[in-house]
Amino acid sequence: MDRDTTGDLDDATPFPADGSGSSSGPRPDGKSDAKTVTDRALLVAQGKHRFYSLVLPSDLLAQTCMVEARAENPIDGFQRLLDERRAKSIARYIDAGFGTVPGAVVLSAQSRAHLRYDKESGALSFSKDPKAFLIIDGQHRIFGFRLAKSSVSVPVVIYNKLTRAQECRLFMDINTKQRPVPNELLLDIRRLSEVETETEALLHNVFDLFHTRKDSALAGLLSPAERKKNMISRVTFNAALRSIKGAFVGAPADEVYAVLNAYLRACRHGLGLHAIDENIANPVLFKALMLLFTNVAERVADRHGGKYTVTNFEDVLIPFFRRLKKSDLPRAGLSHTVLHEHYSKALSAGFLLKQWLFA
């Protein structure tokens, strides 16, 4: 991707031992002057590629790095437009005092950096210029550094003498070959890092009960840490339950589980009338049925005084499922909100008809 840095070493001017004779040379105390920054760096070789690895203060990166957004420079730009809200979030995270940003930012030294490397001392120097480096990866972190009031040490990778084509290829490699952490795993990590909200903690505990209890209506149909075909992930489960979280304000996880498990067992019995009870793991159907829960629970409360048993849920649901046709089940392109709207109307129609007939 980058030119062999052997050329960089050949072109570099060795630093005098006393630090004199070059404005870009390292000072004896290892610090930098007003116009030049000097710090120790490792020259790293990966196959044919070379780059420098070092640690720099975040406020210095904010002063010396730039981006070229495609929208602002249609000819040579390749970066995304800055998401200011994301940058502000990073700044707040750093200023809070407990934040850490261990991932390395990746930079490409520009001609204005006047990058030089002393292979004997391992010192890398560059000019303190606002356009010294083009950001290849980490633009939001660096703009967050610029907005932050405090400074932190940041791992940095610097490539030198890249052509624009090489910079673009490096940008593509970084942004297409990295795999993001699955959202399902992030939910588990939020618990381990002790940053769950009260709602997140409740949903997490209810999911775990459905995953581990032998009487669970969803036994064998849940996938806690990743998405799997024909299974309900933690993300899908949470999204479905968030839509009805108002029904469980202040309730402990085991009580929420008891009511929802009775409801879902009744739903599976109803789906079983069409020999598709395991289709409850279909994300669209599962979300639609969870949206329907409040409607059904109200009817159970009216008929049975709030005793939320499987039998009482079936009293409301079985007639509803008997009326369903194959066309009423999830199909490609149908959203859970549209399906719920249809189910809600069907449930209400049947309920009102029964009231009218047997009043």
Same domain, 120 and 266: no
Contact 142, 62 (CB under 8 A): yes
Q: Exposed (0-12), middle (13-18) or buried (19+): which is 251, by Cβ within 10 Å?
A: middle
Q: Which residue has the higher pLDDT, 32 or 307?
A: 307
Confidence bin at 290 (pLDDT 50/70/90): very high
Of 94-108, 114-128, 200-214, the poorest mean pLDDT is in: 94-108
CA 322, 327, 333: angle at the middle one, nearest 5? 135
Q: What is the pLDDT of residues 165-182, one digit of tens each?
A: 888 888 888 877 666 666
Distance CA 125, CA 60 (A): 13
Is the domain of 166 the same as that of 240?
Answer: no
pLDDT exceeds cutoff 60 at 64? yes
Rounded-to-integer distance, Cα 72 and Cα 306, Å: 61
160 pLDDT more than 90: yes
Q: Which of 223-227, 278-282, 346-350 has the highest mean pLDDT?
A: 278-282
Could you tell me which residue, 250 or 7, shows the higher pLDDT?
A: 250
Boundaries of domain holding 15: 6-177
Residue 27 CB: number of other CB atoms within 10 A?
A: 16
Of 177, 199, 231, the last residue of a domain is 177
Q: Read off the pLDDT of each residue in 66-74 and give the average, rounded to a whole number.
A: 56
What is the pLDDT averaged over residues 125-140?
A: 93
Question: What confidence score (pLDDT) does residue 2 get?
Answer: 40
Residue 193 pLDDT: 56
**Same domain (yes/no): 210, 298:** yes
Are 150 and 188 members of one domain? no
Helix 310-323 and helix 336-358, axial crossing angle in degrees, nearest 10: 100
- Residue written as tokens 């002790």? 194
* Residue 176 burial class via C-beta count within 10 angstroms: exposed 0-12, middle 13-18, buried 19 and up: exposed
User: Range with the lowest mean pLDDT among 109-118, 192-201, 337-346?
Assistant: 192-201
**DSSP secondary structure, 134-169, as one string:** EEEE-HHHHHHHHH-SS--EEEEEEEES--HHHHHH
Same domain, 120 and 143: yes
Q: How far apart are CA 317 and CA 329, in angstroms?
A: 15
Q: What is the mean pLDDT of residues 211-230?
A: 91
Query: Is the per-residue pLDDT at 357 higher than 60?
Result: no
pLDDT in tens, 21-50: 333 333 334 455 568 999 999 999 988 889
Per-residue pLDDT, averaged over 332-348, amounts to 81
What is the spatial distance between Cα 284 and Cα 329, in angstroms, rounded to a whole number?
9
Q: What angle do CA 318, 319, 323 make, to 5 degrees?
A: 115
> Which range among 69-73, 281-285, 328-332 shows the weakest confidence by mean pLDDT?
69-73
What is the distance between the alpha carbons of residues 325 and 84, in angstroms, rounded to a whole number?
49
**Looking at residue 294, what is its pLDDT?**
92
Residue 296, C-beta contacts closer than 8 angstroms, at least 6 positions apart: 263, 313, 316, 317, 347
The answer, yes or no, to whether residue 74 has pLDDT greater than 50, is no
- Do 168 and 146 share a structural domain? yes
143, 165: one domain: yes
The residue-averaged pLDDT of 132-157 equals 91
Both 55 and 169 in a single domain? yes
Q: Is the pLDDT of residue 4 over 90?
A: no
DSSP 3-state of 170: helix
Domain assignment present for residue 1? The answer is no
pLDDT at site 332 = 59
Mean pLDDT of 254-261: 96
Structural domains of the chain, count: 2
My answer on whether 188 and 166 are in the same domain is: no
